[in-house]
Amino acid sequence: MRNPVPESNPEPAAEPVPESIPASAAPRRRPASLRLRLTLLASLTLVISLGAVGMALDAAYQRSAVVSLQQQMDTWAYSLMAAMEVDPDGTIRLGVAPADPVLLQPGSGVYALIQGPRDAWQSASALGIDIPAVRAESAGQTAFETPAEGPYFQRRFGLDWTLSNNEVEPITVAILADRERLASALASFRTGLWQSLGAATLLLALAQLLFSAISLRPLEQVARDVADVEAGRADRLAGPYPRELEPLTRNVDHLLAAEQANRIRYRDALDSLAHSLKTPLAVLKANPDADPARLQALEDMQLLIATRLERAAAGTRRALAVPLPIQPVVERIAASLRKVHSQQLRKLECMVEPGLAFFGEERDLMELVGNLLDNACKYGDGQVRLEAHSLAGGARPGLKLVVGNNGQFVALEGLVRRGLRGDERIAEGHGLGLNIVAEIASAYGGRLTFGRSPLGGAEVALIIPAGHLTKGNEV
């Protein structure tokens, strides 16, 4: 029997739902992960610092090597000055050969030159080498040149050499060192330096990764605990957490507790409201003298209370509900229905996938299963079949619940109205129960589909997608 709601008593239009998300709330790109940030910043810091250290060490070594070479060149020059002799005719010779073999071996890279106005002397090492001209230094003057100023490091000393005839001969003693002599030492030093710095960088990067892992572990623990709450394995964050995270975790716990308290309070208020409305309504309906128009108005009120209260109760669902085993609930309801419909029900078959869970309120699951099975029993011809299995999807898999019977096939689609407005006509029996199921399914992000059961009658499939969120969790 259908009970039309009179058009003279229309339901107030539902509040408009914004169709698009405001620009201010447009989805923004997700910030980079903390681990990535830490790793990138630490790596950058490490590379810059160790690079700077490397360059400083390289410069210091280079300076030190040059100073050291200069000292060595001074030593060679002094030894030459000690051994040299200048004849009265200006001929320069060495009384004693240089002690350091580097000045004796041709092409050794170190060359000595004693230059006077009338003669010049070169070390044996300069044999066959095209030594550039050396600038004369005045007496008492010294000079040091690096390869930037010429092809060799050059150390020069200016002397006034008094000859045996008491004449004074201006002499310049110069030591030239091939730049390669320092470059190879510098290259060797640099190889060692950068290898060491590379190894240090690697070790420090590994240490940094370890530090960030240790530092981020409490955050990962919080994430795991929140996942446990979400999956229903816990009803609050377990803790303890570091002091820095406590304000966050404490607030989340408070939020969960407040959500639960509000939900219970809201549901109690709805129950009281339903009770206080339905009993006087029953009195009015039980009056046999009531005229049809009045009875119709009462029917409308009943429908609105049943569906509106159900819709309102949908708002009381837990944001993070515990997984509820489906099999026991289905068995309880099936046992009850076998009793209620004992006269006409010959076979009520329930096939539930082992371990299947419903992520929501037990009350909602009972409403879903109860209404679908009860309708199937009422309008079937003695055979009813329920199948329930999971839909793949992570910590919160979806659910598919299919209920069919062997009754006369009825197209049930028309009995469910999206949004259920008061001015729409809803059939009693199938319609009321189905609309309650549709309201609850919608609250869980699910939907109903209709078809023909293999038993021959109508079939209703309830599909709640994986990872569904309840209304309480919607933003």
Residues at the contact surface with other proteins, assessed by CB under 8 A: 271, 274-275, 278-288, 298, 302, 306, 332-333, 335-336, 339-340, 342-344, 362-363, 366-367, 369-371, 436
Closer of 247 and 328 to other proteins (Cβ): 328
Closer of 280 and 354 to other proteins (Cβ): 280
Closer of 333 and 464 to other proteins (Cβ): 333
Helix (H, G, I), strand (E, B) or coil at 291: coil
CB of 371 to other proteins, least distance (A): 7
CB of 29 to other proteins, least distance (A): 45
- Nearest partner of 321 among 375, 277, 247, 256, judged by Cα: 256
Contact assessment for residue 205 and residue 296, using Cβ atoms and an 8 Å cutoff: no
- Nearest partner of 458 among 449, 466, 470, judged by Cα: 449
Closer of 45 and 272 to other proteins (Cβ): 272
**353: how many CB neighbours lie within 10 A of its CB?**
14
CB of 424 to other proteins, least distance (A): 20
CB of 4 to other proteins, least distance (A): 16
- The DSSP code sequence of 230-275 is HHTS-SS------TTTHHHHHHHHHHHHHHHHHHHHHHHHHHHHHH
Closer of 278 and 471 to other proteins (Cβ): 278
Q: Residue 32 is encoded by which pair of tokens?
A: 């980079």
CB of 297 to other proteins, least distance (A): 12
Residues constituting the chain: 475
CB of 385 to other proteins, least distance (A): 19
CB of 298 to other proteins, least distance (A): 7
CB of 286 to other proteins, least distance (A): 4
Closer of 81 and 281 to other proteins (Cβ): 281
Helix (H, G, I), strand (E, B) or coil at 159: strand
- Measured between alpha carbons, how far apart are the two ends of the chain, in Å? 40
Closer of 84 and 440 to other proteins (Cβ): 440
Contact assessment for residue 111 and residue 129, using Cβ atoms and an 8 Å cutoff: yes
Q: Residue 473 is encoded by which pair of tokens?
A: 């969790």
Q: What are phi and psi of 254, to 5 degrees?
A: -60, -40
Closer of 255 and 335 to other proteins (Cβ): 335
Closer of 67 and 282 to other proteins (Cβ): 282
Q: Residue 142 is encoded by which pair of tokens?
A: 């010294």
- Nearest partner of 403 among 443, 360, 433, judged by Cα: 433
Helix (H, G, I), strand (E, B) or coil at 280: helix
Q: How far apart are CA 161 and CA 117, in angstroms?
A: 11
CB of 228 to other proteins, least distance (A): 27
Sign, CA torsion 312/317/319/325: negative
